[in-house]
Structure 1
């Protein structure tokens, strides 16, 4: 796990060092850079290394293979040993035990199709000196980030946008991105907060021609939303097959030359990963959870029950209020784009203290999206009944509900006015009420809507696919990458192995959701290792008690940061409407903490990064 950087722009050595130092937290073990010059054209590669596999300096990057292949690589290719064995038989030689060298050899053997062979999380760029091109890719599910700048002539890329921003004088802040951020809570791919910088989409590869300056990207993987690859076996067959794939995914992710642990929240997904790790690891598994003092937010005792049953070496990290406040105030240094998922703060605390014990941690991310695990899926299904009623009748009902003094009923009133259940779900993910956003952009308009707005699958499967391409990629993966990298911790997600995602995608819905049982098949696999009674409780999210904090301990901070002058200065919002909504939160009539948190983050980001930069 590392931070990568590269450019064809004419930066000097000190400027390149500055760009690498800006995100040195991603890889504190070694910082390296290299200037390559050929035919009056310069390519610069830089790398911050977090040493995980082959700790020897021989595997430091930028790395050169067979003299003409140069690479910077962030992430892991978990099946590199299998690929290495195949390539060795074809005559390739290796001087390290790292996956970086194998990636280079695979490119020489398979060309751009090499990415089809990789199982892992990665973003990388290869400078193919012989063919005078840059070739790169981002992993299938978007675990690892990749930002790039292309002006038709030059090219620059980095793991985080702040490295591109530093020493650049031609970037403008994107008003469109801010509008989308206020709606989604993040800046959706391929946009970035700067108009001139984009994100390479998950499951995409690219080439940049150093002679012509031409940039081309294309997908090499996607989930099947046509419903063609259907599983034909029985439920028991599927359960056994899932166990086999899961065991392989966890085992491969336990391999490292540094200590490895498991995040354990006490929920189904993390418990399944911990149980599988317990079965496949010879060493005693280290597990980590977060404890909150606020009633209704602390589930650490459930994690303790699972840890006790599995006999893991368990560590409980208490979420300290003052420590949390410090992270809030420095949030934008690590999340260097506006990002308003409040669970980023406990994620950072978990990473910070886990790093004291291990360098790699396995997580349960991905189970809810692939195996139909969010409560909102069931709510969407139940709510779909009302959309069989004619719109005029629904509008009449909405009018009545809007008069009642309860914010939840007011939200339902607005939702009833959507055209159909697809639009309702899209609205639920962006915010049903966007009246406070002052913009001409339709922020619900994203290319990924195609995974939702079709008739090839039932509603459960469509929203599952849509979440995989949006919420999982834009939110969850961004949150985990920045939170873990802030403290130089590598996080691996076995349930995001693309083979598991593809397998889940092929299963009949009843294997995943049956008689109100969500994540049915995952739970049945889990219950073979951990008692079912531990999980007989409502599902809880991983969040902070911001709603209470903003009304109590942090009330003065909120009102100071989001005063009248500040609100008037923030782009894309109706200041008067927002002020009214903040007051609703403070007097307890409406829970507006997501809006307040998103505005606090935006204000902090603009204050830190927006000085002297125009918005367009």
Structure 2
């Protein structure tokens, strides 16, 4: 896992070094760049495979030069195939396997890769750049294409050096709604994200850029599993075993994030079957109702792992909040990023690679919101006027949760309700809330051939997993030069789950049914007989107590007036509603705090340019 950079703009060496230095945390082991023809390629390396300097990047293979961020987990089997075809290799890394695969398969090489990646190959003979991003968007890729220039990087801030960019108001609206900026936008009008599962070609002679999709979900379920449940469980178990095994190949120490939940416990169990003395790591909160570390200790004890519990204390949490925008290059408001950063910080002291359970909730219908939306969907069979009447009655309750329910059942469509559950049911503080709902994946809801749960699962894989979870984990882990690998996001597993009947995953209220049944082959069910818990910060309490002064100082009327896209008067009201205990407004307050902090950092930069 590393940081990549490249440009066709002729910057000075000092400027290139400055651009690379912004991503030093992504690759502290080696940093270098090369001028080759019309192209500059740069790289920050976190050495995971073949620690020898021969695998440093930019890497040259025949007439190709490459910069690569990520891992190709199946590189050994792919390398063996390529060797049989006559290709020679001088390293034991996966980097040159990408190059050989490109020479053999051309643009279709990406279909042979099982991994997380963003890479760019400079094909000197063809005078073009070819690059791609992994299927599920684990690795970031930002680019700026204007006229005859093309510049790319792992962080948008790298592109901003020596350039004047303009804030994208639509992206700001989407951030205030979702809490992140969905692809293909970035916070800047001039910068885009390469969408997950996409590849590109940039022709240096003409300056033309072409982007196309090489992978997507099977929305129509054309590939349906036709076997029985026992066969499906056996197939899934084999896929999981292999997904974990190929992600344990590293030339550096490796461990497992262990929350004690279904997903991470299964990953820890499978890893324990591969090697002895697996290191596991969990986080502990002192606040009542937030600490689940005892469950992780029970699992670790059963598996006999070398376990470490990391305490998330108030003072350290504040320190990470103050440095938040340094690592989250764009506004990002998932508050669980803070404990993820803390977990990564201390895990990195013991290992360089950590396996995680990310992806299980989306693929196996595991979130509590799926159960809730399925229940509410019965109400949506009633005519809208009837639901609005019910909502007006429920709204009489002084309880803010009841008021949220009243808002929800008064919405026209269940799909819109689900989307609003992400952005907050009540968005009057956003100047133009409807504009923030725009995203490239709403069309998923147009296909009525699938049941509601499968549609929501598809949507979350493409939207939430990509834009929120992957962004959170990538930035948090790389802030401390830690590589995070997610076996449940192996594309073979994702494709397999899409082929399964819904009742294999969700059956009579039993969520993640088939995944649990695999887990129970390794761990006793009694360890997991408890309600599902989220990975959240105690901001609801902190904002009313320890952080109250911090919030009021940073979100004063004067500071709020500097933030584009919000209704200042209404924002002041929701802050007061939270402080008095009338509503739980911490998600909205956190979004605004993050954006305000990020904006201050940008304004202090000489390359910042306000809205046009």
TM over 0.5: yes
Deviation at 1:450, TM superposition (A): 1.7
* Structure 1 residue aligned with 2:432: 439
**Aligned counterpart in structure 2 of residue 47 of structure 1, from 43, 47, 56:** 43
* Structure 2 residue aligned with 1:164: 159
**Aligned counterpart in structure 2 of residue 214 of structure 1, from 198, 208, 214:** 208
Which structure 2 residues correspond to residues 459-478 of structure 1 after superposition, within 5 A?
459-478=452-471
Which structure 2 residues correspond to residues 194-593 of structure 1 after superposition, within 5 A?
194-281=188-275, 283-439=276-432, 442-593=435-586
Q: Using the alignment, how far apart are the partners of 1:45 and 1:293 within structure 2?
A: 46
Q: Could you give the per-residue CA deviations for residues 192-233 of structure 1, whole angstroms, max 9, x where no partner exists?
A: 000100000000000011011111111000011112111011
Which structure 2 residues correspond to residues 60-71 of structure 1 after superposition, within 5 A?
60-66=56-62, 68-71=63-66
**In the alignment, does 2:145 pair up with 1:150?**
yes
Q: Using the alignment, how far apart are the partners of 1:587 and 1:575 within structure 2?
A: 19
Structure 1 contact 173–194 (Cα < 8 Å) conserved: yes
Q: Using the alignment, how far apart are the partners of 2:423 and 2:461 within structure 1?
A: 15
SS state at 1:388 partner: coil
Q: Using the alignment, how far apart are the partners of 1:439 and 1:530 within structure 2?
A: 49
Structure 1 contact 225–456 (Cα < 8 Å) conserved: no
* Structure 2 residue aligned with 1:6: 6
SS state at 1:46 partner: strand
Deviation at 1:476, TM superposition (A): 0.1
Q: Could you give the per-residue CA deviations for residues 162-190 of structure 1, whole angstroms, max 9, x where no partner exists?
A: 11112223x11111111110000001100
* Structure 2 residue aligned with 1:87: 82
Which structure 2 residues correspond to residues 96-135 of structure 1 after superposition, within 5 A?
96-135=91-130
* Structure 2 residue aligned with 1:15: 15
Structure 1 contact 32–47 (Cα < 8 Å) conserved: yes
Q: Using the alignment, how far apart are the partners of 1:445 and 1:560 within structure 2?
A: 32
* Structure 2 residue aligned with 1:605: 598
Q: Using the alignment, how far apart are the partners of 1:231 and 1:550 within structure 2?
A: 49
SS state at 2:446 partner: coil
SS state at 1:434 partner: coil
Q: Could you give the per-residue CA deviations for residues 295-351 of structure 1, whole angstroms, max 9, x where no partner exists?
A: 100000000000000000101111121111000001000001000000000000000
May I ask how many residue pairs the two structures share in their alignment?
Answer: 609
Deviation at 1:420, TM superposition (A): 1.8
Deviation at 1:408, TM superposition (A): 1.1
* Residues 325 and 256 (structure 1), Cα distance of their counterparts in 2 relative to 1, 3 Å cut: same
RMSD of Structure 2 on Structure 1 (CA):
0.9
SS state at 1:137 partner: strand
Structure 1 stretches lacking a partner, 5+ long: none
Deviation at 1:615, TM superposition (A): 2.0
TM-score normalised according to structure 2 size: 0.98
**In the alignment, does 2:49 pair up with 1:56?**
no
Q: Using the alignment, how far apart are the partners of 1:523 and 1:50 within structure 2?
A: 35
Deviation at 1:531, TM superposition (A): 1.0
Q: Could you give the per-residue CA deviations for residues 84-111 of structure 1, whole angstroms, max 9, x where no partner exists?
A: 1111111111100000000000000100
Q: Using the alignment, how far apart are the partners of 1:206 and 1:610 within structure 2?
A: 33
Deviation at 1:395, TM superposition (A): 1.6
Structure 1 contact 288–316 (Cα < 8 Å) conserved: yes
Structure 2 stretches lacking a partner, 5+ long: none
TM-score normalised according to structure 1 size: 0.98
Q: Using the alignment, how far apart are the partners of 1:430 and 1:507 within structure 2?
A: 30
Structure 1 contact 319–349 (Cα < 8 Å) conserved: yes
SS state at 1:182 partner: helix
Q: Could you give the per-residue CA deviations for residues 392-436 of structure 1, whole angstroms, max 9, x where no partner exists?
A: 111222222223211112112221222221121111122222211
Q: Using the alignment, how far apart are the partners of 1:118 and 1:254 within structure 2?
A: 17
